[in-house]
């Protein structure tokens, strides 16, 4: 039975019609409870209908998709949000992830990708509602997708004081479970990955600028120069200063 409620929001009627026609929603277990042509109407529908899923464009009149997702999250409900956009920009992805967005898809929407995403979400909602067991292949896909999304968040937000609790909250799972899955799939802890991404960014800065070491540390997310140098040494095998000396310098710097 199609009992997973969906609200669709886009300021272009043709896009809304396309979203409704592109998939056999009922066969996937969904029914479209409402559609909106601007963010204000979408916000009203979310509050009235309490949908399981909101799919919204990022650029809309009155209330844009990011503000809409922030408001949805503030309700404390388990409404998932998928944002559609034509903008290939990590800055949008970073903000979307902060507001608990489940996925960030580029237009034109890929039918296969959206179908697979909705299948996984239906399984998760079914599990939450009645303890539906997921088979091993689907669980593996879910876990791999989880790791991909964590890596996206780390790459776009490594300068922040990013915590596993925050990442887990964005994924609607426990921090303990996220940590276990991530280590199993990558062989690293999430903290290890954050340090690796920061140090990799620092290497580029050291090789292309004349910034002081403490400035480089701050630029990539460390508040303590000594701690930054310790992590850099552990991962690269030399201090930040020695690394800078070991790479060719730009004569214009």
The pLDDT score that the predictor gives to residue 132 is 46
The pLDDT score that the predictor gives to residue 70 is 84
Burial of 135 (0-12, 13-18, 19+ CB in 10 A): exposed
Do 60 and 27 reside in the same domain of the chain?
yes
The pLDDT score that the predictor gives to residue 124 is 82
Do 239 and 128 reside in the same domain of the chain?
no
Counts for the chain of helices (H) and strands (E), in that order: 12, 5
The pLDDT score that the predictor gives to residue 77 is 82
In a domain, 114, yes or no: yes
Give the distance, in angstroms, between the CA of residue 36 and the centroid of all CA atoms in the same chain.
24
For the chain (253 residues), the mean pLDDT of every run of 10, in chain order, is 82 89 86 91 91 89 85 84 71 59 74 83 79 44 78 88 81 77 90 94 92 95 94 95 82 42
In a domain, 180, yes or no: yes
Pairwise CA distance, residues 211 & 228, whole Å: 15
**What's the domain range around 225?**
192-246
Give the distance, in angstroms, between the CA of residue 20 and the centroid of all CA atoms in the same chain.
25
φ and ψ of 237, to 5 deg: 90, 5
Whether pTM > 0.75 for this model: the answer is: no
Do 56 and 111 reside in the same domain of the chain?
yes
In a domain, 165, yes or no: yes
The pLDDT score that the predictor gives to residue 114 is 85
Do 37 and 126 reside in the same domain of the chain?
yes
In a domain, 95, yes or no: yes
Enumerate the β-bridge partners of residue 212: none
User: Structurally, how many domains does the chain consist of?
Assistant: 3
In a domain, 251, yes or no: no
Do 81 and 152 reside in the same domain of the chain?
no
């Amino acid at each position: 039975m199609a009992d997973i409620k969906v609200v669709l929001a886009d300021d272009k009627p043709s896009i809304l019609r396309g979203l409704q026609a592109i998939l056999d929603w009922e066969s996937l277990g969904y029914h479209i409870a409402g559609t909106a042509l601007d963010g204000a109407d979408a916000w009203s529908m979310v509050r009235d209908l309490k949908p399981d899923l909101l799919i919204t464009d990022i650029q809309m009149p009155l209330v844009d998709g990011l503000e809409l997702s922030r408001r949805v999250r503030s309700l404390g409900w388990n409404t998932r949000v998928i944002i559609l956009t034509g903008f290939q920009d990590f800055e949008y992805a970073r903000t979307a992830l902060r507001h608990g967005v489940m996925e960030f898809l580029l237009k034109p929407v890929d039918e296969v990708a959206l179908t697979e995403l909705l299948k996984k979400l239906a399984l998760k909602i079914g599990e939450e509602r009645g303890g539906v067991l997921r088979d091993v292949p689907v669980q593996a896909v879910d876990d791999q997708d989880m790791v991909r999304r964590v890596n996206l968040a780390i790459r776009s937000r490594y300068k922040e004081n990013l915590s596993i609790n925050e990442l887990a909250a964005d994924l609607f799972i426990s921090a303990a479970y996220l940590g276990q899955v991530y280590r199993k799939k990558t062989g690293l802890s999430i903290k290890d990955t954050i340090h690796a991404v920061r140090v990799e960014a620092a290497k580029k800065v050291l090789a292309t600028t004349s910034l002081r070491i403490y400035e480089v540390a701050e630029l990539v997310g460390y508040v303590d120069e000594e701690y930054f140098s310790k992590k850099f040494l552990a991962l690269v095998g030399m201090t930040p200063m020695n690394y800078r000396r070991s790479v060719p310098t730009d004569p214009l710097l």
